[in-house]
Amino acid sequence: MARPLRLPPAGPGTLDLAGAHLPPSTHTRIGGDWYDALELPDGATLLSVGELTGHGTGAASGMAMMLGAVRGMAMTGTAPGPLLACLDRLLDATAQPVLGSAVCVRYRPDTGSLLWARAGHPAPLLFRGGTGRALDAPAGVLLGATSGASYGQAEETLEAGDVLLLHTDGLVPGHAGATAVRQLLRLASHFAAAHTAQDCVRAVVREFGEQERDDHACVLVARVTP
């Protein structure tokens, strides 16, 4: 089910947000997927989506640790690239080896500027005027894959009515990579007709939520308020 995310009252240029967790078709232990939105002290908004390998209480507790670290570092003003580098060091220091992927997006409503970084994760998709595309992705390896990794950053400028979609692997059952992106981009016309981020998430759930799914998946949609 689509779930709106509560941030301060919306105005022109701010983000209307909604997300959803799509569970697997058969009983599977809890996974390490998350999506999150956080208002920062300077008025910016941080969006993050990610996942850890594994299932069960270990994955759930690891996910909680990661999300807490993301929120804490973002509140201190850490930019997305350095933030992911810190997460990589955090995973490298854990007793149980684990891999993770994530994307972190920092949006400033006063300028429409978007600064983002990713760690082995699908790039956000930008929908504008009835068409969509994946953002050009900066370099960034999986979290925990190598010691001392650094993460590049990319910038984008959003416009009123733009829709940004972040997701974890497995959102499109049976497809990954470029094939999954093509499937998601077919929703462009639905997003163009949508009035809210929640409408957009509902369109995603209608399209992919009822299909057979082997693992957990998350989707987060941000729509720039006209």
- The Cα–Cα gap between 103 and 166 comes to 8
Q: Which residues pair with 164 in a beta bridge?
A: 126, 222
Inter-CA distances, 53 with 60, 144, 169, 172, 179, Å: 10, 11, 11, 18, 22
| Rounded to 5°, angle at Cα 35 from 82 and 8 | 90
Q: What is the mean pLDDT of residues 99-123?
A: 96
Q: What is the pLDDT of residue 17?
A: 95
- The Cα–Cα gap between 165 and 157 comes to 15
Lowest mean per-residue pLDDT among 23-27, 73-77, 111-115 = 23-27
pTM: 0.91
Higher pLDDT, 116 or 175: 116
Q: What is the pLDDT of residue 170?
A: 80
The whole-angstrom distance between residue 112's C-alpha and the CA centroid of its chain comes to 18
Lowest mean per-residue pLDDT among 31-45, 145-159, 201-215 = 201-215
Using the predicted structure, report yes or no on whether residue 59 has a pLDDT greater than 90. no
Nearest residue to 151 (alpha-carbon basis) of 208, 100, 204: 100
How many separate helices (H) and strands (E) can be counted in the chain?
5, 11
The SS3 assignment for 62 reads helix
Q: Binning pLDDT at 50, 70 and 90, where does residue 95 land? A: low
Using the predicted structure, report yes or no on whether residue 149 has a pLDDT greater than 90. yes
Domains, the chain, ordered by start: 3-224 (3.60.40.10)
The SS3 assignment for 141 reads coil
Q: What is the pLDDT of residue 155?
A: 98
Using the predicted structure, report yes or no on whether residue 2 has a pLDDT greater than 60. no
Q: What integer best gives the mean pLDDT of the chain?
A: 88
Q: What is the mean pLDDT of residues 9-32?
A: 78
